[in-house]
Amino acid sequence: MQIVAENPRKDIHNSDIPFVCIACEARHGGVCGALTPGQLTELSRHATRRSVEAGSEMLGQGEATRTHANIIRGVVKLSKMMSDGRQQIVGLQFAPDFMGRPFTRESALSAEAATDIDICAFPHAVVERLMAEAPGLEHRLHAQALKELDEAREWMLTLGRKTAQEKVASFLFLIATHFDPEDGVANEFDLPLSRADIADYLGLTIETVSRQITKLRKDGVIRIENNRRVYVPVMARLKRCAGIDA
């Protein structure tokens, strides 16, 4: 999910902005865009940048949380575990999404790096203090939560009513429209999930996912290299295959 800043990059040469924040996509497109230079400076004093390898668990379901984070690069997989051990992928997060729920201290989901990712993490207390000082930050976090709710409702339609081909095309369209936070739509991208994870996310079998990807390839809707690199020659065709009207 991307939150578009009202005036992206107009402060690119502003010396009051901390150097580490100037070229940061979360600064220009995410929640940090609501902060003043002084507030950004305060946040950057407590921030920790780190990289996480694909496949690494970042947070476990039911685990105590001590920090929030902006996703700077990559894709995060969110999953929910049932009491009998079964697991369901319930969502994906992309740069420059904000990870975490303010005013909560326990994670309701597990979060895993679906790809190699970079994040900028900061303590709960700092974020919550800045929310009190900067109504714009609270507004952006609220807007992200509402957008996630809208997208979850759209995904319920995908899972409940769409055909297998529409589901697979919808997944590819989701990645294409969220993969590159700078350009908005990417005609070329790497699949962030394995076939097994895609099947889990879509409620299909691995064989069905593979068949539908092959059909989309044979129909010329997509091209694939090395089993992971996807090219979309005409995005409108993929969108139609996904059953997306608008």
- CB contact set of 147 (below 8 Å; sequence gap of 6+): 1, 3
Of the pLDDT bands very low, low, confident and very high (cuts 50, 70, 90), residue 15 is low
At 25, the pLDDT band (50, 70, 90 cuts) reads low
Q: Which residue has the higher pLDDT, 199 or 186?
A: 199
Q: 169 φ, ψ to 5°?
A: -65, -35
More confident residue, 26 or 87: 87
Q: What is the pLDDT of residues 43-74, one digit of tens each?
A: 889 999 999 999 999 999 999 988 999 999 99
CA distance 182 to 234: 20
Least confident of 2-11, 91-100, 123-132, 190-199: 2-11
- pLDDT tens-digit profile of 211-228? 999 999 999 999 999 889
The candidate with the shortest Cα–Cα distance to 189, out of 222, 213, 217, 154, is: 222
**Mean pLDDT, rounded, of the chain:** 87
Residue type, 80: K
Residue 120, φ and ψ in degrees, nearest 5: -120, 110
Residue 155 has pLDDT above 70, yes or no: yes
Lowest mean pLDDT of 91-105, 132-146, 174-188, 229-243, name the range.
174-188
The band of 9, judged by pLDDT with boundaries at 50, 70 and 90, is: very low
Nearest to 144 by CA among 134, 152, 133: 152
Burial of 31 (0-12, 13-18, 19+ CB in 10 A): buried
Does residue 3 have a pLDDT over 50?
A: no
Alpha carbon distance 36, 17 (integer Å):
8
Secondary structure in 3-state letters for the chain: CCCCCCCCCCCCCCCCCCHHHHCCHHHHHCHHHHCCHHHHHHHHHHCEEEEECCCCEEECCCCECCEEEEEEECEEEEEEECCCCCEEEEEEEECCCEECCCCCCECCCEEEECCCEEEEEEEHHHHHHHHHHCHHHHHHHHHHHHHHHHHHHHHHHHHHHCCHHHHHHHHHHHHHHHCCCCCCCCCEEECCCCHHHHHHHHCCCHHHHHHHHHHHHHCCCCEEECCCEEECCCHHHHHHHCCCCC
CA distance 203 to 200: 5
Specify the pLDDT at position 227. 84
Return the percentage of the chain with pLDDT > 90, whole number: 56
Bridge-based pairing of strands 75-81 and 87-94 is antiparallel
pLDDT at 168 (0 to 100)? 97
pLDDT score, position 86: 85
How many percent of the chain have pLDDT more than 70?
Answer: 90
